[in-house]
Amino acid sequence: MRISESWMRLWRNRLAISGLALVLGLCAAALLAHWLAPYDPDFIDLKQVLMPPSPAHLLGTDTLGRDVLSRIIFGARVSLLVGFVAVGIATLIGVLVGALAGYYGGALDQILMRLVDLMLCFPTIFLILAVIAVLGPNIWNIMAVIGLTSWMGVARLVRAEFLSLREREFVVAARALGASDARLIWRHLLPNALTPVMVSATLGVAGAILVESSLSFLGLGVQPPTPSWGNMLTMGKDNIEIAWWLSVFPGLAILVTVMSYNLLGEGIREAIDPRLRD
Amino acid sequence: MWLYLSKRLLLMIPMLLGITLVSFLVIHLAPGTPTELQTTMNPKASVEAQKRLRELYGLDQPLQVQYWDWLKRVSRLDFGRSFSPDRRPVWDKIRERIGVTLGLNLLSLLIILAVALPLGVLAAQRAHSWFDKGTTLLVFFGFAMPSFWLALLLMLFFGVYLDWLPISGLTSLGFSHLSFWEKFSDLGAHVTLPVLGSAFMGLAGVSRYMRGSMLEVIGQDYITTARAKGLPERVVIFKHALRNALLPVITILGFSLPGLIGGSVIFEAIFAIPGMGQLLWWAVMARDYPVIMGELVIVAFLTLLGNLLADLAYGLADPRIRMG
C-alpha cells in the first residue's frame, strides 16, 4: 500500500520521471553502444583530424580524427560502470558500519563514528589522489578508491535510522521472541532503513561519475585510448584555442548524466516522504 | 565560552593523531615500499643505495616504530625530502605554496558568502516565486556541474573567445618589472577565472542551505509575533530572522571547507596556478610519497583548523554558548 502510493507520487513528479527516462536511456546507450555509435570509437582517420561538427561527424572529430559522438557514447560505459560499482562498494561499507554502530551502540559506536569524522577531515580528492599514487591509475582502482572514500554519509544515515528503530515495539517484540542479533539486523532493522539508503545511492552514482571524470581529466583515472568523458576533456583543454567542440560536448554529457541522477534521487526522496517538499 | 573552546581544542588532539595515522597507512599499507618504487623508476640506483634509502626511512623497522619516528619528525614539520630531482625538504615546497592556495580559497569563500547568503534569504522570503524557482534551477546546475568543465568553459569564453582574461599562471612574464598597481591588476586578472569558478561550485550548497534555514526560522512563532506587533518586514527579516538562520549556516561553512580546498587541485591544475593543489597533482604523477604524505597531513590539519574557526564563530554568534 505505502509502496504503491510512493510509486504514484514518483510517477506524478515530472522532473523525477524525466530524470528516470534519461538514466534508462543512458544505460541503454551504454549497452547498445556498438549499434548506436556511427563510427568505431577507436578508428583513427588522420585525414579527418580536428574537424568541426558537420553532418558526417555530428560532434566533430578529435586530434586523431576519431568521431567525438561515438567516443561519447562509448564513454557512457565507463561512467556508468564506475558509478554503479563505486556506489555498490560505498553502500556495502556504509550499511555495515552504520548498522554495527547503530545496533550495538556504546564503545563500538564511538570508535566507528570517530572514524567517520576522521575520514571527513580529508578533502576526498586529496585522499583519492594519494591512494591512486600508491595503487596506480586504472579503472578498477578508481572504482575501489571512490567506493572506499565515500561510504561515510551512508554510514551516518543507517546509524541514525537504526538508533530510532532499535527501541521500536516490533524490534523489542522480535528480540523478546529470541531472535538473534544477525536476524534482528537483517530481517527487522535493515529493510526499514533501506529507503534513505536508496536515495543516497542514487545521488551517490552522480557523485562517483563526477569524481571519476575529474580523475580521468587529471590523467589519473581511466587511461586513453579507452574513451571516458573525463579524458576526452583533457584533449579539449590541450586544444582549447582551436577546437571548442572537444571541450564542450563531453562535459555536456557529464552534466546531463549527473543531473538526471540527481533529479531521480530527489524525486525518490520526495516520493517516500512528501513532507520534505517545501 | 572558555569551557566550550577548550573542549573543542582537546577534541583536536585525537583527530590530529588520527589524521597522521590515516596519512601514514595510506602510503605504507600498499604492496611494495616507497623506496622500491623509487628505485624501480631509477634503475641506476645500486643495491647499496637502496639499502641506504631503506635505513633512511627506517623501512626495516616494524610499522609502529616507523609511525612513531615519522610522527616525531612531523611534529617538527619535518616531512623529509622530496623524491624529485631537486630533493628539497617537503615543508619548504609546501610553505611557499600554502599562501596561494589559502588566499584563493579565502577569496572564493568571501564571494560565496557575499552572493549565496543574500540569494538564500531572498529565495526564502519569496518562496515559490519565479525568483525562487530561478535560483533552484541555478543550484541544480551547480550540483551537477563538473568543476573542471566549468573551468574549461570559463577559459573558452573569457580567455579564448572574448580574449579578456589570461588562462594560465598567476602572473604574466616580466611581472617583477611592473609597478605596484600594474602588479595588482595583473594578479587580479589571473585569479579572476579560477576564483569565480571555485566560488560558483560552493555557491549552490550554501545558498540552498541558507534558504532552508531561513524558511524554518520564518515559520517560527516569534517571527509571527514580530510581524504582529507591526515591525517593518525589513527589520523582521534581517534582524529577527537572519541572525538565527545564520547559526546553522556557520557550521555548514566549516563542513564545506574540505570541498573547497579539494577543488584547488582541479582549478590549480587547469589554470597552472603554483599552489598546493598543483603540487599534489605533480607529486601523484611522479609518485613523490614524502610530498603526498606532507600534503595530506597539512590539508587535513587546515580543515580541522577551519572547523575550529567555524566552532569559534558559532560560539560567538550564539549567546547561549557565549554567555554559558
Task: Provide the CB-side half-sphere exposure for B272 (13 A, CA).
Answer: 11
pLDDT digits (tens, 9 = 90+) for A46-55: 888 888 898 8
Least confident of A117-126, B57-66, B223-232, B291-300: B57-66
ipTM, 2 decimals? Answer: 0.84
| CA-based end-to-end distance of chain A | 24
Phi, psi for A7 (deg, rounded to 5): -60, -45
For the four alpha carbons of B236, B239, B244 and B246, in that order, the dihedral sign comes to: positive
- pLDDT for residue A77 is more than 60: yes
Peptide bond just before A225 cis, omega within 30 deg: yes
Least confident of A106-120, A243-257, B38-52, B82-96: B38-52
A18 touches B: beta carbon within 8 Å: no
What the block records as the C-alpha cell of B281 is 597533482
pLDDT digits (tens, 9 = 90+) for A178-214: 888 888 888 888 888 888 899 899 999 999 999 999 9
- pLDDT for residue A1 is more than 50: no
- Chain B: closest CA distance from residue A115 (Å): 8
Looking at residue B50, its pLDDT comes to 62
DSSP state, residue B169: S
Q: Do A262 and B140 touch (CB under 8 A)?
A: yes
User: What number of other Cβ atoms are within 10 A of residue A164's Cβ?
Assistant: 11
Please name the amino acid found at residue A164. Answer: S
Selected residue with higher pLDDT from B307 and A88: A88
pLDDT digits (tens, 9 = 90+) for A99-132: 999 999 889 999 999 899 888 888 888 889 988 8
Least confident of A177-181, A213-217, B93-97: A177-181
Residues in chain B within 8 Å Cβ distance of A219: 285
Q: Can you list the alpha helix ranges (DSSP code H) found in chain B?
A: 2-28, 34-40, 47-56, 63-74, 90-125, 130-144, 147-154, 180-218, 221-228, 233-235, 242-270, 276-286, 289-317, 319-323
Looking at residue B54, its pLDDT comes to 66
- pLDDT for residue A172 is more than 70: yes
For the four alpha carbons of B252, B266, A257 and A29, in that order, the dihedral sign comes to: negative
- Chain B: closest CA distance from residue A130 (Å): 6
* Orientation of helix A124-135 relative to helix A139-148, angle to 10°: 140
Cβ atoms A255, B149 nearer than 8 A: yes
Looking at residue A204, its pLDDT comes to 92
Nearest to B154 by CA among A15, A186, A247: A247
- pLDDT for residue A277 is more than 60: no
Q: Is residue A67 helix, strand or coil?
A: strand
Nearest to B134 by CA among B117, B149, B119: B119
Which of A114, A134, A233 faces B148 most closely, judged by CB atoms? A233
Taking CA atoms, what residue in A is nearest to B38?
A134
Which of A122, A127, A218 faces B281 most closely, judged by CB atoms? A218
Which of B27, B156, B258 faces A247 most closely, judged by CB atoms? B156
Distances (CA, A) of A71 to A260, B265, B286: 20, 26, 29
Residues in chain A within 8 Å Cβ distance of B262: 123-126
